[in-house]
Amino acid sequence: MRVREELRAALAAGEGRPLAEVRRVFWKDQLERLREAHQAGAAGMQTARALAELMDALVLEIYAKAPPLDVIHALVALGGYGRQEMSPYSDVDLLFLFPKEKDKKAGFISGVLRPLWDLGFEVGHSSRTLAEVVEMSRQELDARTAMMDGRLLAGDPELFAQFQQKLFAKLPLQTVAGLRQWHQARSQAGGSVQLLEPNLKESPGGLRDLQVLQWALKAKAGGPEVESWRRRLLDTEEDAALVRGREFLWRVRHDLHFEVGRRHDVLEHALKPQIARHFGYEDRGKELAVEQFMHHYYLHARAVYTLVDRAFEQLTRREREGRRLLLEDGVEVVDEKIEVGEGEAYFAADPLRLLRLFSLLQTRRLRLSDQAQRAVRASLHLIDDQVRCSPEARDAFMAILKRRQCASRTLRAMHQQGVLGAYLPEFGALTCLVQYDIYHLYTVDEHVLVAVDNLESLGRTGEQRPLNRLFADYPRRDLLYLSVLLHDIGKSRREDHIVCGLEMAGELLERLNLPREDRRFVLFLVEHHQDMVIISQRRDLDDYRMIAEFAGLFANLGWLEALYLVSYADLSAVARDAWTEWQGALLWDLYHKTREQIESGLKTLEEQHHVRQLLEMHLRFITGTWPAHKVAAFQAHVQQLPSRYLMAYNRDQIEAHLGLIEEVADQPLALEFAERPAYTELAICARDQRQLLAKICAVLAVNDIDILRAEVNTRADGVVLDIFQVTDVDGAVVLPERKQQRVREQLGQVIGGTLGEDQLFGQYRANWNWRARKEGDHVRPPELKFENQVSDKYTVVEVDAHNRVGLLYKITQVLGEQELDIHTALINTVADRATDAFYVVDGRGQKIVNYEVLEGIRQQLLERLAS
């Protein structure tokens, strides 16, 4: 009532001013008051109700000034407004209710809606009779649920009572089941609870899950009073967990709306640090404030999703149970769910049953009933050090990993019930653990479980790709799964996760008392789980010495096959788009070459001998087939380029390159786009000039073309042949024809000197500046590293930086200014991070070993990347 009195006072004080202006100022002032209360710690639901009451005051004041209505009617708030659950920029949903069609008055309805629109509110509205309400409720679940939240604002209470009575009396019998299907479909579409950028309203574990449960309770109760049903479904602790989750989610949603200044429900990466600060989180050692905040978000969302799902299990349980099947003493199956008749006492008699229960779950492809879930969670304390060191417990756990079906599903079920973390505390410490970067889509525990599922899925598809065949034939899947489970356990200590993980895994494997050779194998996979991905993306895979050194890591081919499989599992589970055909091709290339090296039994293959053999083979084929001058050109061409060129390109590709070189004799530029399975190959030929590579990168950048790899070849006669592996910005392998033509035109202008890079970039700067403002201060600074041990011939410059348009242009521009020759550029991007490697030499063709020179290059790169 107080806010209505304040509105009346504001209207009186503003007499003579436009009514819309007075209302707008009043709303703005009241919103600021609520913002201050929120920042001072007001409860989320308190703010939600206060916003609804504020809206009531405005709506009722506008209603009172609308054209008078001489027929029975009711003005009803629906949806979140009806529930009195609003955030600062929520929309407003109104129902104009009439007994009959002839009673509807357009002037009255417009008189209520237009002033709200003038104030900038998003208003959803409908005008219905009682009969239409019933019909609409039968047909549309969305409309039905919105009306179930109806709240009388003004008009005839008897008409509103009839509305509620008819609505709930005529609810379809399948309403609860339909709501459960809706809940499950949304979860499947939205993915994991632990997404990088969750939607506070719509993501699994969000506010919508709480609302769907409330609608189901109303449908079951036959009206808005649901407390008795709620108590029947949830015990005191579970209900308190839902209330805590609801409170946390509402406070975060309010904060997001206030921070952004509009309706905004996605917890975006760049916004998280501000929200964390608003909630009082502070950095604690190496654990960032934002990581603590998101850890708590995921814990609440996980609890909400789990409890809502469990409540739906009970709500949709059949009245008459199906036939009971006794699996073993104390364990029965009812309606495809396992029940434990004695509850906690069953596990207290033998704690190993907590593990064996999940073996039954796996082999019979069953689920745990609500009763069994409660018993399991109440018995987790029974898994103590004695159980963890027990050979019987180890055998039960390893048996789950050995089975060829449902290992990942079973591990996920064990994790959801807390058993996996209780048995392997090192894994339990990863629960909802957050890494604040946009590279990792999931929390650490979810990443690991997705990795296990991706690995197991190789055996489900029936595809005949190399990865699928390797996994199908691999004899020790249990050790592969165990390695994936343990590969990131070191992240809980916030130090070097491989060093810490190796130590922790060693202690864990000793506790399990696995055979010595099994332990050695698992520790090898944990220690080296990143190696294949890093080498395939940042190293020249035609460098035979590097391949030979890498091959020396492996005890046998089985270890290489295992690391290849684990590498796939890890990379594919980082983010939805982390595994691409391009990434797969790189990893396969490294695996294949390393396998050849191991099978050859040689520690180092003689590169020059191999190149001579290739050249002789090509010359034998083309001599007598090609004209003599073309054979001579072929031989002269390959002899002017590094040996890796002949190993990297086949005869047809080299012939196409020779064609480009012939064109450059009469014109400044020649180029060719060639489609490959995972990328488009762009070959560019021109006369050498200052900053040529930077100019090419500039043109590709402004055309939104992603460079995956660049190989730079400069012949002794000054002809440059640069070969790029590219995709379109959306990942498409084939570049549109119009984009190819624009690249041709702009490259000709830039290389010809008629268009400068600054002019080229000018039209894109406004967009880039907007992106930079959006990213704000939350971008991890670039990191640089120089490697002189990786290659015999080149210094490798590694750049790890935030990926944005023009990044490669800036890097190549600086390296060119430092008079460095780039021979190969390996480009890799996942999410917002670019991890690029450049093989360079100085102007004399030598590696850069002088510390001061390297530091000068470092400073120039850091300054340019920060600009």
Q: Considering only residues 738 and 642, tell me which one the structure prediction assigns the higher pLDDT.
A: 738
CA angle 709/732/747 to nearest 5° reads 55
Q: Distance (Å, rounded) from C-alpha 798 to C-alpha 838? A: 6
CA angle 68/69/72 to nearest 5° reads 150
Q: 100 and 206 share a domain?
A: no
Q: Which of 171, 195, 219 is the last residue of a domain?
A: 171
State residue 777's pLDDT score: 47
Strands (E), 432-484: none
Mean pLDDT, residues 690-703 taken together? 89
Q: Considering only residues 600 and 388, tell me which one the structure prediction assigns the higher pLDDT.
A: 388
Give the model confidence (pLDDT) of 522-561 as tens digits.
999 999 999 999 999 888 887 888 898 999 999 999 999 9
Q: What is the CATH number of the domain that holds 156?
A: 3.30.460.10
Query: For residue 336, is it within any domain?
Result: no
State residue 776's pLDDT score: 47
Query: For residue 301, is it within any domain?
Result: yes
Q: Which of 171, 190, 223 is the last residue of a domain?
A: 171
State residue 659's pLDDT score: 94
Query: For residue 255, is it within any domain?
Result: yes
Q: Which of 572, 605, 638 is the last residue of a domain?
A: 605
Sign for the pseudo-dihedral over CA of 280, 286, 287, 291: positive
Query: For residue 422, is it within any domain?
Result: no
How many Cα atoms occupy the beta-carbon half-sphere of 611 within 13 Å? 17
State residue 528's pLDDT score: 97
What type of residue sits at position 60? L
Mean pLDDT, residues 845-860 taken together? 93
State how far the alpha carbon of 257 is from the alpha carbons of 59, 312, 650, in Å: 21, 31, 58
Separation of CA 591 from chain center: 27
Q: 137 and 234 share a domain?
A: no
Q: Which helix (H) or strand (E) holds 596?
A: helix 581-600
State residue 315's pLDDT score: 84
Residue 212 has pLDDT above 50, yes or no: yes
Give the model confidence (pLDDT) of 475-509 as tens digits.
999 999 999 999 999 999 878 889 999 999 999 99
pLDDT tier at 774, thresholds 50, 70, 90: very low
pLDDT tier at 832, thresholds 50, 70, 90: low
Q: 800 and 823 share a domain?
A: yes
Q: CB neighbours of 619 closer than 8 A, spacing ≥ 6?
A: 631, 634, 635
State residue 409's pLDDT score: 95
pTM of the model: 0.82
Query: For residue 347, is it within any domain?
Result: no
State residue 569's pLDDT score: 96
Q: 287 and 304 share a domain?
A: yes
pLDDT tier at 772, thresholds 50, 70, 90: very low
Q: Distance (Å, rounded) from C-alpha 202 to C-alpha 305? A: 12
Query: For residue 145, is it within any domain?
Result: yes
Mean pLDDT, residues 460-470 taken together? 81
Query: For residue 73, is it within any domain?
Result: yes
Q: 137 and 48 share a domain?
A: yes
The residue behind tokens 């008409």 is 159
Q: 714 and 807 share a domain?
A: yes
State residue 770's pLDDT score: 41
328 with 232: CB under 8 angstroms? no
Separation of CA 498 from chain center: 23
Q: In 10 A of CB 655, how many CB atoms?
A: 14
Q: 135 and 150 share a domain?
A: yes
Q: 96 and 119 share a domain?
A: yes
State residue 765's pLDDT score: 59
DSSP strand pairing (337-340 vs 367-368): parallel
Q: Is 127 strand, coil or helix?
A: strand
Give the model confidence (pLDDT) of 30-71 as tens digits.
999 999 999 999 999 999 999 999 999 999 999 999 998 889
Give the model confidence (pLDDT) of 393-418 as tens digits.
999 999 999 998 899 999 999 999 99
- Provide the number of structural domains found in the chain: 4
pLDDT averaged over every residue in the chain: 89
Q: 753 and 851 share a domain?
A: yes
Q: By percentage, how much of the chain surpasses pLDDT 90?
A: 58
Residue 657 has pLDDT above 50, yes or no: yes
CA angle 623/628/630 to nearest 5° reads 95
**In degrees rounded to 5, what are phi and psi of residue 854?**
-65, -40
Closest CA to 102 of 144, 147, 71: 71
pLDDT tier at 190, thresholds 50, 70, 90: low
Q: In 10 A of CB 36, how many CB atoms?
A: 10
For helices 497-512 and 516-527, give the axis angle rounded to 10 degrees. 160
State residue 773's pLDDT score: 43
340 with 370: CB under 8 angstroms? no
State residue 526's pLDDT score: 97
Q: What is the CATH number of the domain that holds 300?
A: 1.20.120.330
Q: 164 and 215 share a domain?
A: no
Closest CA to 867 of 728, 768, 721, 732: 768
DSSP 266: B
Mapping DSSP onto H, E and C, the string for 52-79 reads HHHHHHHHHHHHHHCCCCCCCCEEEECH
Residue 779 has pLDDT above 90, yes or no: no
Mean pLDDT, residues 639-659 taken together? 86
State residue 184's pLDDT score: 76
Give the model confidence (pLDDT) of 66-114 as tens digits.
998 889 999 999 999 999 999 999 999 999 999 998 888 889 999 999 9
Query: For residue 326, is it within any domain?
Result: no
Show the domain range for 32.
2-171
Q: 596 and 718 share a domain?
A: no
Q: Distance (Å, rounded) from C-alpha 536 to C-alpha 590? A: 6
Q: 685 and 824 share a domain?
A: yes
